[in-house]
Amino acid sequence: MTDIPAPQVKYGKLQRLFDDNFLDYTSYVIRDRAIPDIDDGLKPVQRRILQTLYNMDDGRFHKVANVVGATMKLHPHGDQSIFAALVNLANKDYLIDRQGNFGNIFTGDQASAARYIECRLTPLALATLFNKDLTEFTDSYDGRMQEPVTLPAKLPLLLLLGAEGIAVGMATKIMPHNFCELLEAQIKYLRGDEFTLYPDFPRGGIIDVTGYNQGNGRLRCRARIEEVDDKTIVIRELPYNLTTQALIDSVERAAKAGKLKIASINDYTAEEVEVEIKLARGVYAAETIDALFAFTDCELSVSPNLVVIRQNMPCQMTVDEVLRHNSDKLVRDLEKELHIELGRLREKLHARKLEQIFIEERLYKQIEEITRYREVLSTVHTALEPFADDLPRPVTKEDVEKLLEIKIRRITRFDINRQHKEIRAIEKSIKKVEKDLTDIIGFTVNYLQSLLDKYGQLYPRRSKIEHIDEVDIRAAALSNLVVGYHRESGFLGHKIKAENKTKDIELTCSELDRLFLIFRNGAYRVVNVTDKFFVGSDLLWMGIVKSDLVFNVIYRDGRENYTYIKRFRTPKFILNREYRLFPEHKRSIIQMLAVGETGIRARISLVPSSRARYNSLEIDLDDYQIKGAGAKGRRAGNRVVRRVTNITGKPPARKTTAQSLPGFTPPKKKNGS
pLDDT score at 673: 34
- pLDDT > 90? residue 478: no
pLDDT score at 662: 46
> What are residue 553's DSSP bridge partners?
566, 593
- pLDDT > 70? residue 1: no
Active site residues: 116
Instruction: Among 3.40.47.10, 3.90.199.10, 3.40.50.620, 3.40.190.80, name the CATH number for the domain at 43-141.
Output: 3.90.199.10
CA nearest neighbour of 652 among 616, 615, 607 = 616
Provide the percentage of residues in the chain whose pLDDT is more than 70: 93
pLDDT score at 104: 93
Q: What is the pTM of this model?
A: 0.77
Determine which of 1-10, 50-59, 373-382, 545-554 has the lowest per-residue pLDDT on average: 1-10
Handedness of CA 340, 341, 347, 350 (dihedral sign): negative
Distance CA 515, CA 493 (A): 10
Distance CA 222, CA 294 (A): 11
Classified as helix, coil or strand, 332 is helix
Terminal-to-terminal C-alpha distance of the chain:
98
Torsion of CA 603, 609, 613, 618, to 10 degrees: -10
- pLDDT > 60? residue 5: no
Torsion of CA 88, 325, 192, 457, to 10 degrees: -20
Q: What DSSP letter does each residue of 125-140 carry, written as one string? A: HHHHS--TTT--EEE-
Measured CA distances, 395 to 48, 316, 379 (Å): 43, 53, 13
> CB neighbours of 26 closer than 8 A, spacing ≥ 6?
167, 168, 169
Higher-confidence residue of 502 and 586: namely: 586
Fold of 329-458: Topoisomerase; domain 3 (1.10.268)
pLDDT band at 472 (very low <50, low <70, confident <90, very high): low
606-624 per-position pLDDT tens digit: 888 777 777 888 888 988 9
Distance CA 514, CA 519 (A): 16
- pLDDT > 50? residue 637: yes
What is the DSSP pairing of strand 634-635 with strand 589-595?
Answer: unpaired
The total number of residues written for the chain in this structure:
673
Distance CA 511, CA 529 (A): 6
Q: Element (H or E) spanning 507, and its range?
A: strand 505-509
Classified as helix, coil or strand, 474 is helix
Q: At what angle do helices 244-256 and 285-295 cross, to 10 degrees?
A: 100
- Contact (CB, 8 A) for 563 and 591: yes
- Contact (CB, 8 A) for 321 and 423: no
pLDDT score at 672: 40
pLDDT score at 475: 64
Determine which of 245-249, 333-337, 393-397 has the lowest per-residue pLDDT on average: 393-397
Query: At 641, phi and psi to the nearest 5?
Result: -90, 125
In terms of average pLDDT, the best of 169-183, 384-398, 526-540, 629-643 is 169-183
- Contact (CB, 8 A) for 654 and 618: yes
pLDDT score at 474: 64
Residue 670 has a CB neighbour count (10 Å cut-off) of 6
Domain ranges, ordered by start, for the chain? 43-141, 219-302, 329-458, 474-660
- pLDDT > 60? residue 352: yes
In terms of average pLDDT, the best of 83-87, 356-360, 376-380, 509-513 is 83-87
Interval 372-384 mean pLDDT: 88
Distance CA 256, CA 403 (A): 87
- Contact (CB, 8 A) for 94 and 156: no
Higher-confidence residue of 53 and 496: namely: 53
pLDDT score at 473: 65
- pLDDT > 70? residue 6: no
- pLDDT > 50? residue 509: yes
Distance CA 622, CA 602 (A): 11
- pLDDT > 90? residue 121: yes
522-569 per-position pLDDT tens digit: 999 999 888 888 998 899 999 888 888 999 999 999 888 899 999 999
Query: At 449, phi and psi to the nearest 5?
Result: -65, -35
In terms of average pLDDT, the best of 162-166, 332-336, 547-551 is 332-336
Across 22-179, where does the E strand assignment appear? 62-63, 96-99, 118-121, 137-139, 146-148, 163-166, 171-174
Instruction: Among 3.30.1360.40, 3.20.10.10, 3.20.20.120, 3.40.50.150, name the CATH number for the domain at 219-302.
Output: 3.30.1360.40
pLDDT score at 459: 95
Binning the chain into helix, strand and coil, the percentages to the nearest 5 are 35, 25, 40
Interval 248-272 mean pLDDT: 90
Considering the chain, what is the average pLDDT of its residues?
88
The CATH architecture of the domain made up of 474-660 is: 6 Propeller (2.120)
CB-count exposure of residue 169 (10 Å: 0-12, 13-18, 19+) = exposed
- pLDDT > 50? residue 670: no
- pLDDT > 80? residue 655: no
Interval 144-171 mean pLDDT: 92
Distance CA 269, CA 274 (A): 5
